[in-house]
Amino acid sequence: MLLLLLLLLLLLLLLLLLLLLLLLLLLLLLLLLLLLLLLLLLLLLLLLLLLLLLLLLLHYYHHHHHHHHHHHHHHHHHHHHHHHHSDKKRIHTMAATTTYSP
C-alpha cells in the first residue's frame, strides 16, 4: 500500500515535471515568437523610416530644383518689365520738360 502511494506520488511528480517542461518550452517558444515579432517590427520601422527619408529627399530635391527654376524665370520677367516701364516714364518726363522749357 505504501509502495503504491509512493509510485503514484512519483508519477504525479513526473507529470508535474513534464507539465513544467512543456510550459517552459511554450514560454520559450512564445519568447522566441515575441523576439521574432519585435525584430520584424523593427525591420518594418527601419524600412518605413528609409522610405520616408527617400521620399523627403526626393521631394526636397524636386521642390528645390523647381523653385530655383521658377524663381529665376520670375526674376527675369520682372526685371524686363520694370526696365520697360522706367524707359517709358523717362520718355514721358523728357517730353514734359521739353514742352515746359520753351
CA 11 to chain centre: 59
* The pLDDT of residue 15 is above 70: yes
Whole-angstrom Cα distance, residue 62 to residue 58?
6
pLDDT digits (tens, 9 = 90+) for 28-76: 999 999 999 999 999 999 999 999 999 999 998 887 765 555 555 555 5
Which triple of cell numbers denotes residue 70? 521658377
Query: What's the pTM?
Result: 0.41
